[in-house]
Chain A
């Protein structure tokens, strides 16, 4: 169940002072299609170099306005501290490409990239990701040009119902950047966090191998 998050109008609580986003000014550093582990490492290094001492702050258990950087755009939204990143993306920002399967980390349908690394958006809070670069399935293509993983999923028929697919694609994009697409066996192990109830696994493995340029076998 999505949390009962407040509307923008009801957002209470002035945070006061510059946000970490403003302090860090990392927007210029990173583009929308940052899926690379290398990029993630750079982002981390940049943050380590520029990070001010973290502010001690308390957000009350009520709606608060925050900003998130999603697919290269700064978005302002109202959440509660308990709102997961998944619910913030889907219910607040209308980015429903990211799916909710189990809501407990067990299926991978909610996989997004945070600073280039794949995570389960159901297992993290929106307020914990205020200084991160978030990439969802909506931000993977470059304009009309599909990401190689998206193209390979189409060409290899790597889905049936499609419910798990956006999570599979986000996970696969990260896996390739991590260098874990060396063999079908390696792909199976490193895609294990993404469950497909339709059992499209053989075609998913083929698609990931194809996108990685390794051939289907």
Chain B
């Protein structure tokens, strides 16, 4: 592993002051991603700034929604999260392993990098890791890659389960940077690759995620996370679906459907939401929503299966929130 120095900080202000001016400095929270990236060479950090002592660990639930600190631990065990935001608890439990979950943080989870094998293996060409070097996945083994939101330069998938659930709940990330604080919808945190896949998020260097706000909604309580993977547990999603529905008098008044494992960011299936809204929740409407969710997919050679998988996964996830 390349050598780096290590700094502990005790306030958000000093964290931002340490990292912002230094392009070779990186935050470290749970360390479960950043150590892999420094070890393998995807990021060239000379300095890690440990933010674990910052006062960002709280989980607060109230009438206006849920606030999750960037360093909150075991959000999936919080009783209000389990009861009122089940999709969130389910997505967290479906991610990684018990060991990794004992270390990771919500902020670090959102900012984990793609698991594209050409990105992870530095001996291959990858535009995201090394601008202009080419994309090994486009003509290579792209079984795990994107069917939505990709470009001719990159078809990476963002692997966070948490981000998919948060997108279905209209959550926003709160950040603090040198220029001040702002709120960024989780759906927009990651950029689509376009011509510049190496510009991964909309964050400035050194901009710290301080927490996540999940607004109160009529659909959060009736929500579900379905994750389909190559083995029963401890694997990244081939396809995942977060659904949340507001059903009143037998009709879907409002809903959110977000997909994971298929795009460079959590993917809102707006066509599916439109197909379902105003309909009763039944087998026909579930299937129609599934079809709509898969419309517009651009599969590659090895991931055509994901199109049918999206259709069926959306329908199945919706069956879980039916009466």
Contacts and interface: CB of A to CB of B under 8 A. Distances in A.
Closest 4 pairs (CB-CB, A-B): A193-B97, A81-B6, A192-B233, A54-B53
A119 B103 CA distance: 7
Contacts of A84: 35
Interface string B79-110: 00000000000000000111110110000000
Contact of A81 (B36, B48, B99): B48
Interface stretch (A58-66, A68-76, A204-212): A58-66
B300 to A, nearest CB: 25
B5 interface: yes
B4 interface: yes
A125 B46 contact: no
A56 B99 contact: no
Contacts of B14: 56
28 contacts: A54-B53, A55-B10, A58-B5, A58-B6, A61-B4, A80-B3, A81-B5, A82-B4, A82-B38, A103-B39, A104-B36, A118-B98, A119-B99, A119-B102, A123-B32, A123-B35, A123-B36, A123-B103, A124-B35, A125-B6, A125-B35, A125-B48, A127-B6, A171-B98, A174-B98, A189-B232, A192-B98, A193-B99
B237 to A, nearest CB: 15
Interface of A: 3, 53-62, 80-82, 84, 103-105, 108, 111, 114, 117-120, 122-125, 127-128, 171, 174-175, 178, 180, 188-190, 192-194
Contacts, number: 108
B7 interface: yes
Interface string B275-305: 0000000000000000000000000000000
Interface of B: 1-10, 14, 28, 30-32, 35-36, 38-39, 46, 48, 50, 52-53, 96-100, 102-103, 232-234
Residue of A81, A111, A175, A190 with highest tally of chain B CB at under 10 A:
A81
Contacts of A114: 102
Nearest to A167: B99
A56 B17 CA distance: 13
Given A53-B10, A81-B48, A104-B36, A120 B99 contact: yes
Nearest to A44: B73
Contacts of B233: 188-189, 192
Contacts of B46: 61
B36 A56 contact: no
Contact of B8 (A57, A108, A111, A119): A57
A100 to B, nearest CB: 12
A128 B46 CA distance: 17
Nearest to B48: A81
Contacts of B52: 128
A187 to B, nearest CB: 11
A61 B3 contact: yes
Contact of A175 (B6, B9, B98): B98
B179 to A, nearest CB: 23
Contacts of B5: 58-61, 81
Select the residue from B14, B30, B99, B234 with max chain A CB neighbours within 10 A: B99
A209 to B, nearest CB: 17
Given A54-B53, A104-B36, A125 B99 contact: no
Contacts of A3: 1
A91 to B, nearest CB: 13
A127 B47 CA distance: 13
B105 to A, nearest CB: 13
A36 to B, nearest CB: 14
Contacts of A119: 99, 102-103
Nearest to B52: A128
Contacts of A128: 28, 31, 50, 52
Contacts of A127: 6
Contacts of B28: 125, 128
Given A61-B3, A61-B4, A124-B31, A54 B102 contact: no
A193 B97 CA distance: 5
A56 B100 contact: no
A120 B32 contact: yes
B317 to A, nearest CB: 20
B99 A108 contact: yes
Nearest to B14: A56
A177 to B, nearest CB: 12
Nearest to A115: B102
A82 B4 CA distance: 6
Contacts of B102: 114, 117-119
A80 B32 CA distance: 18
